[in-house]
Amino acid sequence: MTAVLLTGFAPFDGAAANPSWQAASLAASRRNDTVAVELPCEFGAALPALRAAIEEHRPSLVVCTGLASGRHAVTPERVAINLVDARIPDNAGAQPIDVPVVENGPAAYFTKLPVKAAVAAIEAAGLPAAVSFTAGTYVCNQVFYGLLHLLATELPDLRGGFVHVPAEADLSVANSAAALGLVIDTAQTVATDMPVPSGTLH
């Protein structure tokens, strides 16, 4: 039994590497309580791979990560929506448009991670962080929503959520890994999130 399951994605869209997997694997290598698993960047395979990893490792905490090019901070996600609308094909060539992650599922789920407290911890370490209110509509959001649906319907005692990391040009893999470690530490010690503002005006 592993305390923490940390996931990242395989490279996609022709890239040679994916910073989410690089950071996740590095963060896990620094901890005795964490295992890292690389998820395929494929709509048809990502959620089955996540479920298999959960069944194999039986964690008490799951933190999935993905790449958010164009962002300049580590961004714990607050809400997953029941929508897939792929701007580009996945690694298997699939490009679903305007379909739900889960047929007849709720419109959205909120994270089970203390994202405000995690952002505060990351910022206290001198690293850039912010709460995000959109995980997109690609495989990242599909995995985020699928994870929370699994928690809501089958595994209510499991905690989990999703964190986006920037491209390496905006934040080094080492710093992203350090931030993920702080997300894990915070999730393991904070049961109720901080009552501080993190909303946006747009």
pLDDT tens digit at each of 202 positions of the chain: 579 999 999 999 999 999 999 999 999 999 999 999 999 999 999 999 999 999 999 999 999 999 999 999 999 999 999 999 999 999 999 999 999 999 999 999 999 999 999 999 999 999 999 999 999 999 999 999 999 999 999 999 999 999 999 999 999 999 999 999 999 999 999 999 999 999 887 7
94-99 contacts, C-beta under 8 A, 24 or more apart: 94/42, 94/43, 94/44, 96/43
Q: Pick the catalytic residue: 140, 150, 171, 184? A: 140
Q: Which two tokens stand for residue 38?
A: 């690389």
Strand order in the sheet with 34-39: 34-39, 4-9, 61-67, 159-165, 75-76
SS3 assignment, position 136: coil
- CA–CA dist 159, 53 (Å, integer): 15
Q: Is 41 a catalytic residue?
A: no
Residue 40 is given by DSSP the state P
Give the domain ranges of the chain: 4-189
For 54, the enclosing helix (H) or strand (E) is: helix 46-57
Count of C-beta atoms within a 10 Å radius of residue 119: 28
pLDDT at 139: 98
Spatial CA neighbour of 43 closest among 6, 87, 79, 105 = 87
Is the CATH code 3.20.20.70 the one for domain 4-189? no
pLDDT at 105: 98
Global pTM reads 0.97
